[in-house]
Structure 1
């Protein structure tokens, strides 16, 4: 007889998303000590720390393409050098952006991060599986693991409005556009929406934010008002 005892703990990590940790005491063996579903910063950090503790670890990661067809691979999408990403800065008073150069550089950077991350996992002896995780029982996905961490992050939500998926883009798609976005309406005033409106405005593209309640809901509202006031002064 197999005896199973489960302890489930749901908590919010400092990476900003939920992790569900399932700990089982089972009279049996598993393919891995830990399986991580999600290959973002939180999931990868968890996997690397576990391997450092001598655990057998597998990471499952797969990105469902957006309605516009945008997709990417394993790892993050940080951008850190302005000139390499399309900015032309002959002087502080004369700053321009080349959208084709920007998007090409961003996509190349993402691909390089994907590759480096896969090599890093291989070197650390962490099994990488490009696939969706689906629970068949508390310890079985496409493999068996004593512990499972869900660190899948989040994706933009399309409202249930006719034409939204066909004619709108999300933050997933913006750096895959083959042309400058031009005048943009940003629906939603969370931190990603305000971030998009802010950098579009800074690039010289008109940006308007549509919000149904309050900006940055769930954050300190004194700070939220300071952020939105500054954005309005800058032309958003």
Structure 2
């Protein structure tokens, strides 16, 4: 059968765009359909605008901190509307870049919502970007689902419809004076820092006793302390029972009976794969109860002509992972070669102030495998000796005791994401603690602390925990 395209990608986000560009570069006839916004979640409603928001908060902190260095700067009131306008302008520029990248690669672009009619046929109809689009039917030998995910509220809570999710936060007309964030994952922590840093009273409510479930326990404790230093109120070990209007604001009743007055409720309780209206029931593609497309190694699904990459598979929901998956898939399908990436050492960062970054195994994960040597340090950085802030930096290395290979690196402190990217290379390469020890540091810097750790804090995974040892 003659198809219109060799490859059709549903979704113009980071993973889908990379897959389309690489496939077109190999000579394939490629098309992409996007229904909402070119660039996907990361560019429009995720990584990029969120990082700009975090940076906006830092300017206020720096203005306050500058007094310790002799500057006479008085922070003024933040102009939310002006900032949002500047942010939107930058996002628009990036949208256009994504379109140009695809067009210059020879990819055919469709603006509209694509749904399956069968395993090789798509109907592209109206979508948010093109509400009046005339339906078009296209065929493709292979189809890639790269539709990403979307944030969810918590429907079990009475009055949940009064809250917002992260997509809404990027387009608020005004900053709320009081905001309550439900959840303590990446998004909850980051937006608590953003709203607090721009002048709101931020309150968090979450089930866990510490934020960021899944991260190293020392980092979670350090982040909890950093939140206290920032003045962010937390109600942990509970959840929201009811939300109701209270005059011009909202009143939240928690499961423990405590009540909170707030101007806005922000649900940061997770995301779900974006599969609504795709017509997957007309294919052999399977999804689980949460809606995630079940993808196997290489992005294959149970339909041999359909593949899935990125957040729609709900594996590692990070932009660089989706990009790598798209690149690998395009190479494999159209060049016969594959580029190697390590997915077990993907670094990650939480852009709070101070930020947290991590790569490799946590202490608990390493201890489940074999005894591990743990090296930690905690200190107040040079900057804050003068600013007067009680802001601590915490760093940690997790080392396999038998082989002395560094299994994990973790940091809460300024510039942590920049430092962790370099450490990710070391962990991916399987370097040993002795390789760190023989590396000369850059002084004075926080990065050098990772190569000057000499005292083992404890042994994890052995019977009994050892105390500190000498150099």
> Which runs of structure 2 are paired with 1:149-168 in the superposition (5 Å)?
149-160=144-155, 161-165=157-161, 167-168=162-163
Distance 1:176 1:29, change over 3 A: same
1:62 aligns with 2:58: no
Aligned partner of 1:121 in structure 2 is 102
**Preserved contact between residue 51 and residue 124 of structure 1 (Cα < 8 Å):** yes
Aligned partner of 2:82 in structure 1 is 101
TM-align CA RMSD: 2.6
Structure 1 distance, partners of 2:143, 2:87, is: 32
Per chain length, whose mean CA-contact separation is higher, i.e. which structure has more relative contact order (CA < 8 Å, sep 6+)?
Answer: 1
Provide Cα deviations, 1:35-83, integer angstroms capped at 9, x if missing partner: 11111111111111111111111111123xxxxxxxxx2111325778x
Distance 1:221 1:115, change over 3 A: same
Deviation at 1:191, TM superposition (A): 0.6
Structure 2 distance, partners of 1:85, 1:229, is: 22
1:208 aligns with 2:203: yes
Residues 178-187 or 136-145, more deviating = 136-145
Deviation at 1:226, TM superposition (A): 3.0
Aligned partner of 1:224 in structure 2 is 220
Provide Cα deviations, 1:138-192, integer angstroms capped at 9, x if missing partner: 2222222222222222111022145433x22221111211111221111111211
Structure 1 distance, partners of 2:217, 2:5, is: 44
Distance 1:223 1:128, change over 3 A: farther
Distance 1:220 1:57, change over 3 A: farther
**Preserved contact between residue 153 and residue 164 of structure 2 (Cα < 8 Å):** no
**Preserved contact between residue 11 and residue 34 of structure 2 (Cα < 8 Å):** yes
Structure 2 distance, partners of 1:232, 1:139, is: 55
> Which runs of structure 2 are paired with 1:1-236 in the superposition (5 Å)?
28-63=1-36, 73-75=37-39, 76-77=43-44, 78-79=48-49, 92-93=66-67, 94-96=74-76, 97-142=78-123, 143-160=138-155, 161-165=157-161, 167-213=162-208, 215-236=211-232
Distance 1:204 1:151, change over 3 A: same
Aligned partner of 2:436 in structure 1 is none
Structure 1 distance, partners of 2:141, 2:3, is: 6
**Preserved contact between residue 85 and residue 105 of structure 1 (Cα < 8 Å):** no
**Preserved contact between residue 74 and residue 117 of structure 1 (Cα < 8 Å):** yes
Residues 153-162 or 191-200, more deviating = 153-162
Match of 2:188, SS state, is helix
Match of 1:176, SS state, is coil
Distance 1:145 1:100, change over 3 A: same
Match of 1:172, SS state, is helix
Distance 1:33 1:81, change over 3 A: same
**Preserved contact between residue 20 and residue 32 of structure 2 (Cα < 8 Å):** yes
Distance 1:95 1:56, change over 3 A: farther
Structure 1 distance, partners of 2:96, 2:204, is: 35
Q: Which runs of 5+ in 2 are unaligned?
A: 68-73, 124-137, 233-471
Match of 1:149, SS state, is strand
Distance 1:50 1:231, change over 3 A: farther
Match of 1:200, SS state, is helix
- Normalised by the length of structure 2, the TM-score is 0.39
**Preserved contact between residue 61 and residue 132 of structure 1 (Cα < 8 Å):** yes
Deviation at 1:219, TM superposition (A): 3.8
Structure 2 distance, partners of 1:98, 1:206, is: 17
Provide Cα deviations, 1:193-222, integer angstroms capped at 9, x if missing partner: 211111111222111121123633344444
- Normalised by the length of structure 1, the TM-score is 0.73
